[in-house]
Chain A
């Protein structure tokens, strides 16, 4: 199943456009004016907490929900009002939806038989799809005789055999245990690259999205908060929500005492300060995010462009490759600090100990308004800072 034989949409093969789409359920706006462009052959993820509109958006692409406003364009053709079977996309459901009374082979052959392909073509393509998901030899088993991971692969084969322009996956790994999930993540990514099919993947697991995706749309409250590559999302979160949702992040409210040389400065006395690079056109106070691994314990002097702040260790957790510390700042905020355990016999910090922290001003990333920070902090149940993503 190479890209050239799979699709028939010319250079727009596998391309999906979601244009200013809105969907309401009663009074609830599930998806609010969302626009997404997914080029063909991309592994695209929609990531967000439950109720953020990611599944609804996927179901609108599949055709199971009709948008109240906006368009869905598939390979250059408007499919907004086209029913699911006529869309040339296939979906893999969280509950798989396998046909329990049919064998693996019959499950996979369901689509081809409905489409009335020739017997020979059906047999060939079914065998190919079963090979693609590495289920050779299981053709005559029934779904009930397979493990969760194998069932998942049957669902994939059953969808892929139709050679869809795009495969839509709705939390397909949600029912699997952690170890199997990790294996399937790599396998899915591999499968996507081998087939060259556009994958649109819905998940609430940020790690899963980061592992597999070319690009991720982080959704919250029916809107896309940020659409970017995993690296960009992590390093330059567009909002406090994204910062909190992707990885572990510290949010600090920066009271801007001074601006000089493009740096925002909050003075804390005794030479202690928190700095951030001023974004263009910004004024007033700001919220910054600092990743835990960028914060270092300091013993001596630090450079001019570095943040420098003291605090009390309140908690120490050994996580294997890193040791996680929670440090209480004089501002009342708590910072999560990760120290890499790469030295034999290094001193372990203890709760109650006073430490000095430093990090480069460039690592204080300004994310947005104070209101946004307060909102995310409240959601996470944290006092102000130290928001920890899952």
Chain B
């Protein structure tokens, strides 16, 4: 049986291979070669990312109406921070994103474990399914949930009795839809981290008397932690700024930060407040990412 498992184990990159690949070989080539290769992407990054970012920062501090000679002010930030509506929206956004994140981790960790250690020949199939699910246009996926959760939707058709109203246009709908939208980005980093775990580790733990919960808590989660943190950074920040989902399946109780920024700028034409709010969101995201990065480093396995 061990022989059989060995053969299966090397199917898609054994733990050792993954470890080696992560370290990677040192590439030859000096600074000049690096400049040649990096010129195009760096230019693109500056034009497509840095320039709009600077415009946004400038917009957030330019007096109304935004003209070259308007002068600068911090009024927009004061307004954003003092408007009683904003903390409320921030709390809703935080609740929705965090709940969705927890829901996704609860699905992604067992799913990644199953794919790496139990799925066998189905591993590649599941991986493909996850990627394909993500390839679908996001708006189409969100509308699909509308069909499933609606008053006359599939779910209400299956549930006996009078239609359940809170399924659609609610926080529940937004959390469920966000979870399914970002599940791929949650699962893949965790899957990659688990791929580097030697299967014998779990057998050894079983042999030493650890039950499944102890193995999950003491072996699986600590060893998958770097992947879990990457997943959280990758998914939490886009959810903070998502507005499509809440637009389509959300209701009055699920008005989110992304929608607020969009409405300030496109609805009210208030570029200043919109940009200021957006900048604060971004600052918070960077802070979150930094904290997650530090936590992941704390957990890094020396090998």
Q: Which residues of A contact B2 (CB under 8 A)?
A: 55-56, 59, 94, 170
Asked if B135 is an interface residue, CB under 8 A from chain A, the answer is no
Query: Is A144 within 8 A of B301, CB to CB?
Result: yes
Smallest Cβ-Cβ distance to B300: which chain A residue: A101
Residues of B with C-beta under 8 A to A111: 208-209
Contact (A93, B208) CB under 8 Å given A25-B1, A56-B1, A170-B2: no
Please, which residues of chain B bring their CB within 8 A of the CB of A93?
200, 203-204
Q: Which of A113-159 contact B (CB under 8 A)?
A: 114-115, 142-145, 155, 158-159
Assess A62 versus B207: contact at CB under 8 Å? Given A55-B2, A55-B3.
Answer: yes
The answer to whether A158 and B301 touch across the interface, beta carbons within 8 angstroms, is no
A18 at the interface (CB under 8 A from B): no
Q: Which residues of B contact A62 (CB under 8 A)?
A: 207
Q: Does A70 contact B (CB under 8 A)?
A: no
The reply to whether A65 and B208 contact each other, CB–CB distance below 8 Å, is no
Q: In the complex the two chains form, what is the Cα distance from A97 to B4 in whole Å?
A: 17
Q: Digit string of B273-303 for contact with A (CB within 8 Å is 1, else 0)?
A: 0000000000000000000000000010111
- A144's partner among B207, B211, B222, B302 (CB-CB below 8 A) is B302
When chains A and B are docked, how far (Å) is the Cα of A159 from the Cα of B223?
21
Contacts of B68-106 to chain A: CB distance below 8 A: none
Are A30 and B303 neighbours in the complex by a CB distance under 8 Å? no
Which residues of chain A have C-beta atoms less than 8 A from B3's C-beta?
50-51, 55
Residue in A closest to B198 when the chains form the complex, CB atoms = A95
Contacts of A55-103 to chain B: CB distance below 8 A: 55-56, 59, 62, 64-65, 84-85, 90-91, 93-101
Known: A93-B203, A111-B209, A142-B303. A99 touches B214 (CB 8 A): no
Q: Mark B193-207, 1 if CB is under 8 A from A, else 0.
A: 000001111111111
Q: Which A residues lie within 8 Å of B214 (CB)?
A: 114
Q: A110 and B210: CB pair below 8 A?
A: yes
CA–CA, A327 and B4, complex, Å:
40
**B303 and chain A: residue at smallest CB distance:** A144
Q: Quick check: is A22 within 8 A (CB to CB) of the other chain? A: no
- Tell me if B127 counts as interface (CB < 8 A to partner A): no
The reply on A162 being an interface residue by CB < 8 A is yes
How big is chain A's contact interface, by range? 35 or more
Q: Could you say which residues of chain A place their CB within 8 Å of the CB of B301?
A: 100-101, 142, 144
| A100 and B1 contacting across the interface, CB-CB below 8 Å | no
A55 nearest CB across to chain B (Å): 4
CA distance A101 to B196 in the complex (A): 13
What is the bound-complex CA distance between A51 and B3, given in angstroms?
A: 7
- Contacts A55-B3, A59-B1, A144-B303: A98 and B204 contacting too (C-beta < 8 A)? yes
Given A51-B3, A55-B2, A142-B301, the answer on whether A85 and B208 have CB atoms closer than 8 Å is yes
In angstroms, Cα B200 to Cα A95, docked, is: 6
The CA-CA distance from A30 to B223 in the complex, in Å, is: 34
Contacts of A25 in B (CB 8 A): 1, 4
B203 and A64 contacting across the interface, CB-CB below 8 Å? yes
Indicate whether B148 reaches chain A with its CB closer than 8 angstroms. no
In the complex, the answer to whether B210 meets A30 with C-beta atoms within 8 Å is: no
Task: Say whether B200 contacts A84, CB under 8 Å.
Answer: no
Closest Cβ–Cβ distance, residue B302 to chain A (whole Å): 5
User: Which residues of the partner chain A approach B208 to less than 8 Å between Cβ atoms?
Assistant: 85, 90, 110-111, 114, 158-159, 162
Neighbouring A residues of B264 by C-beta, 8 Å = none
B130 at the interface (CB under 8 A from A): no
Q: How far is the CA of A64 from the CA of B206 in the complex (A)?
A: 9
Q: Quick one: closest B residue to A112, CB to CB?
A: B208
Q: Does B219 contact A (CB under 8 A)?
A: yes
Give the interface SS of chain A, mostly helix, strand, loop or mixed.
mixed
Closest chain A residue to B1 by CB distance? A56
B302 with A91: CB separation less than 8 A: no
Q: Could you tell me the distance between the alpha carbons of A159 and B207 in the complex, rounded to whole angstroms?
A: 9
CA distance in complex: A76, B198 (Å): 34
Q: Which residue of A lies closest to B9 (CB)?
A: A95
Nearest CB of B to A169, in Å: 12
* A-chain residues with CB within 8 Å of residue B211 when the two chains form the complex: 85
Q: Which of A65, A84, A162 is within 8 Å of B1, CB to CB?
A: A65
- Residues of B198-242 at the interface with A, using a CB-CB cut-off of 8 Å, are 198-211, 214, 218-219, 222-223
Give the shortest distance, in Å, between A254 (CB) and chain B (any CB). Answer: 36
Once bound together, how far apart are the Cα atoms of A67 and B30, in whole Å?
61
B206 & A84 in contact (Cβ 8 Å cutoff): yes
Q: Which residues of A are found within 8 Å of B203, using beta-carbon distances?
A: 64, 91, 93, 97
B57-70 contact mask (Cβ, 8 Å, vs A): 1 or 0:
00000000000000
Query: Which chain A positions have C-beta within 8 A of B223?
Result: 100-101
Say whether B206 contacts A55, CB under 8 Å: no
- Cβ of B200 and Cβ of A97 under 8 Å apart? yes
Q: B302 to chain A: which residues have CB within 8 Å?
A: 142, 144-145
Measured CB to CB, the closest approach of chain A to B120, in angstroms, equals 13
By beta carbon, the residue of chain A nearest B204 is A97
CA distance A194 to B57 in the complex (A): 73
Across the interface, A100 reaches (CB within 8 A) one of B206, B218, B303, namely B303
Cα separation A271 to B222 with both chains bound (whole Å): 77
Give the shortest distance, in Å, between A16 (CB) and chain B (any CB). Answer: 16
Residues on B with beta carbons closer than 8 Å to the beta carbon of A100: 201, 223, 301, 303
A94 and B205 within 8 A (CB):
no
Residues in A whose Cβ lies below 8 Å from that of B202 = 97
Flag if B209 contacts A115 (CB, 8 Å). yes
**Alpha-carbon separation in the docked complex, A145 to B218 (Å):** 20
Minimum Cβ distance to chain A for residue B295 (Å): 14
A56 surroundings in chain B (CB, below 8 A): 1-2
Residues of A within 8 A of B (CB): 25, 30, 50-51, 55-56, 59, 62, 64-65, 84-85, 90-91, 93-101, 110-111, 114-115, 142-145, 155, 158-159, 162, 170
Contacts A62-B207, A114-B209 supplied; 20 other A-B pairs, CB < 8 Å: A25-B1, A51-B3, A56-B1, A59-B1, A64-B1, A64-B206, A85-B206, A90-B207, A91-B203, A94-B200, A95-B200, A97-B198, A99-B201, A101-B223, A110-B205, A110-B208, A110-B210, A110-B218, A111-B208, A114-B208
17 contacts between A and B (CB under 8 A): A55-B1, A55-B3, A84-B206, A84-B207, A90-B208, A91-B203, A95-B198, A95-B199, A96-B204, A97-B201, A97-B205, A98-B201, A100-B303, A101-B223, A142-B301, A159-B207, A162-B208
5 tightest A-B CB contacts, nearest first = A144-B303, A97-B204, A97-B200, A85-B209, A111-B208
